[in-house]
Amino acid sequence: MSIDPQAAPQAAQQAAPQEGGALDTLAAFSNYASLEGGQTPILGHLVLYSIFEGKVTVDMMHRWFLELGLDSAFVPGEIREIDAYERVTGKTGVRVTYSLDGAPAGRRRRAPGDKEREATLMIRHVSREGLRLVRHLVREVRDEGRSRLTYDTRLAEVVFWRDPLDSGKPGKGTLQVIPDHAAITALAPEEQTKVRETLDKIEEEFRYQCRYLTSDRLRTVIRTYVEALQAVRVRATGGVYFVHRAHADTLAALRELAERMGGGSHLVRVPLPDQEEMREMVIAAFTAKAKEDLNKLAADIAAAQREGHSDATIAGLHKRFRALQAATAEHSTLLSSSLEETKDALLLVNAQFSNLLARSG
């Protein structure tokens, strides 16, 4: 099969960097699938993934990692009830808006000058006191000009009790929803129903969030695992990675893992032929990222020299330097390239780091 060496990098530049990119974008790479079993040597793979919400528990992840032969160190930790509470009652949590004019939007007949009104039920922070985190369900009425007409400060308390059984587990706790019946019954019957449905939804969402991993946590599993394979980010904005062929089996397992997450989640591996232009693309991407990381490390070392430093600070800086050094050595071998520019920058940062250590001694 004849392969255009420019096609893959051009397609990568067109791929959406954000999660949830269209499958049409991924289909642009379908012509390269036959490389896997063909005669053209493979340099590695471009990796793209989109992870969506699915009903995945921590126990399921442990089982899948074992079945797929993946490193269990990347399995996410247990879900904390306090995090579930923060999500359900936070800015992106439960919020309900409805009309007060008794007809669907756009279908009401109003007298000239009358403005459509709508009510919004939302949760607002009140206090953190000892074992209790307190938030209130409030009701706000606005007109179509966004002028606030009324504001009821408490229709219910939504309380999180920290670890009431004293289990000692971080983030442990329980939810308590306490309706203010007097405030609720003062509303019209239709609104009373809305409020009670919203309170039920808060409890339901909390139970769900305590059981299932969020899409953000699932996405983090895939991203951190891919990056741990010494992946090279080939787009400055992220979303597309190069992974060397040495990790092909692990990528196949991650692909299966993403599919098991459900909700349309997927990971796509695009084989890259071992050709000069492909190597140049990957080397340029690695060099740019390494330069960025080294400049940041150099700035942090200089700041430590100016402002003083602790043993923990020095240990952290040294860990970052060693990681960059190891990545450069590995990619130099895998890509059959000297990566001289990055190695020269490493020498300069090493000298700077040695000076910092001498001063601390």
pLDDT in the model for residue 6:
43
pLDDT in the model for residue 30:
44
pLDDT in the model for residue 222:
96
What is the Cα 39 distance to its own chain's centre?
38
Q: Which residues contact 72 (CB under 8 A, 6 or more apart)?
A: 62, 65, 66
Ranges of each domain in the chain: 43-73+216-271, 81-211, 275-361
pLDDT in the model for residue 298:
80
pLDDT in the model for residue 145:
66
The DSSP-derived string for 151-216 is EEEEEEEEEEEE-TT----TT-EEEEEEE-HHHHHTS-HHHHHHHHHHHHHHHHHHHHHHHS--HH
- The total of other beta-carbon atoms located within 10 Å of residue 277's CB is 13
Q: CA 212 to CA 53: how far, in whole Å?
A: 9
pLDDT in the model for residue 293:
76
Can you give 94-139 as a three-state secondary structure string? CCEEEECCCCCCCCCCCCCCCCCEEEEEEEEEEEEECCEEEEEEEE
What is the Cα 267 distance to its own chain's centre?
15
Residue (of 291, 333, 249) closest to 45 by Cα position: 249
- Mean pLDDT for each consecutive 10-residue tract of the chain (361 residues)? 41 42 44 52 89 94 98 96 95 92 52 72 91 94 76 91 83 95 94 96 97 95 92 78 91 97 94 80 75 79 77 80 74 61 64 62 53
